């Protein structure tokens, strides 16, 4: 199932009553389209001595992936544990430190849950997204030899290309267009981010079937192998 605002709100109230004895504040509930994490808790950074208020928090669960009901519930409880710790001023040295782990294990034991430390999406979930989308890609070769990938929002193509051309650590860059669902795991960014790709062989195989492109002034155009210059198609 996919998360809905009604489901997450109702479950938040239920778990707050059953697991947290009604001690959690009524924070803003949101449903996101995040691809890289199943849930998150966002809060306002407080000034020293400032007390937290319910309006300082947003708890969000992603509806992007179709997961089973227990996993969706565990994702919500995971974020509720974060909320409990922060609301009560219980600090951990890391986001999933000893206090978080102790509470997570207690909830798992008492309520038969399977909450885990990470709420990041798994490779299996990434592979399950088979929707066809147009991806504008740039691979960047850094001077140290590493190659990165960016899936770019179409409106940022020229801006990103200009930025990459002026970055001292960039050795070269190549542009592509692809509709392969494998690239769905990467967000289409409007702020330049260079993502490491662990499986470079997989990336090479996908780029081999993508459309290689070039930028000429303010024109972004494909350059199919063997196509004469005067026969090129323009986007």
Tell whether 104 and 21 lie within a shared domain.
yes
Residues 29 and 66 in one domain: yes
Q: What is the mean pLDDT of residues 182-186?
A: 86
Taking the C-alpha atoms of residue 47 and residue 64, their distance in angstroms, rounded to an integer, is 34
Q: Give how many domains the chain has, as a whole number.
A: 2
Residue 120 and residue 181 in one domain: no
CA distance 123 to 37: 12
Pairing of strands 39-43, 57-62: antiparallel
What range defines the domain where residue 135 resides? 130-231
pTM for this structure? 0.57
Looking at the fold, whether 74 and 28 belong to one and the same domain comes out as yes
Residue 23 sits in a domain whose CATH number is 3.30.2010.10
What is the rounded distance in angstroms from the CA atom of residue 128 to the CA atom of residue 185? 10
Taking only the tens place, the pLDDT of each residue in 25-54 is: 999 999 998 877 889 999 988 788 788 899
Task: Give the closest residue to 87 by CA, choosing from 40, 37, 30, 43.
Answer: 43
What's residue 231's pLDDT? 41
Mean pLDDT of 71-93: 93
Is 84 in the same domain as 182? no
Q: Are residues 32 and 114 in the same domain?
A: yes
Q: Are residues 11 and 119 in the same domain?
A: yes
What is the pLDDT of the chain when averaged over all its residues? Answer: 87
Q: Which of 124, 139, 155 is the last residue of a domain?
A: 124
Mind listing the pLDDT tens digit for each residue in 222-233?
986 665 544 433
The model's confidence at residue 21, banded by pLDDT at 50, 70 and 90, is very high
Looking at the structure, do residues 19 and 89 belong to the same domain, yes or no? yes
Per-residue pLDDT tens for 89-141?
998 888 888 999 999 999 999 999 999 887 555 555 556 667 788 999 999 99
């Amino acid at each position: 199932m996919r998360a809905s605002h009604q489901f997450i709100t109702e479950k938040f109230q239920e778990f707050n009553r059953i697991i947290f004895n009604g001690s959690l504040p009524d924070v803003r509930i949101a449903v996101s389209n995040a691809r890289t994490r199943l849930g998150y808790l966002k809060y306002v950074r407080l000034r020293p001595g400032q007390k937290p208020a319910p309006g300082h928090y947003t708890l969000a669960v992603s509806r992007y992936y179709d997961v089973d009901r227990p996993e969706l519930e565990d994702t919500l409880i995971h974020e509720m544990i974060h909320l409990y710790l922060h609301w009560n001023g219980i600090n951990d040295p890391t986001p999933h430190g000893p206090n978080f782990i102790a509470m997570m294990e207690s909830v798992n034991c008492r309520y038969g849950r399977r909450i885990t430390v990470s709420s990041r999406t798994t490779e299996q979930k990434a592979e399950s997204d088979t929707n066809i989308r147009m991806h504008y890609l740039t691979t960047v070769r850094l001077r140290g030899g590493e190659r990165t990938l960016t899936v770019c929002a179409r409106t940022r193509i020229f801006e990103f290309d200009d930025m990459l051309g002026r970055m001292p650590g960039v050795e070269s860059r190549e542009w592509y267009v692809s509709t392969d669902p494998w690239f769905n795991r990467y967000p289409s960014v409007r702020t330049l981010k260079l993502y490491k790709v662990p499986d470079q062989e997989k990336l090479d195989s996908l780029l081999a079937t993508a459309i290689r492109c070039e930028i000429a002034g303010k024109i972004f155009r494909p350059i199919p192998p063997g196509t004469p210059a005067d026969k090129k198609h323009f986007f």
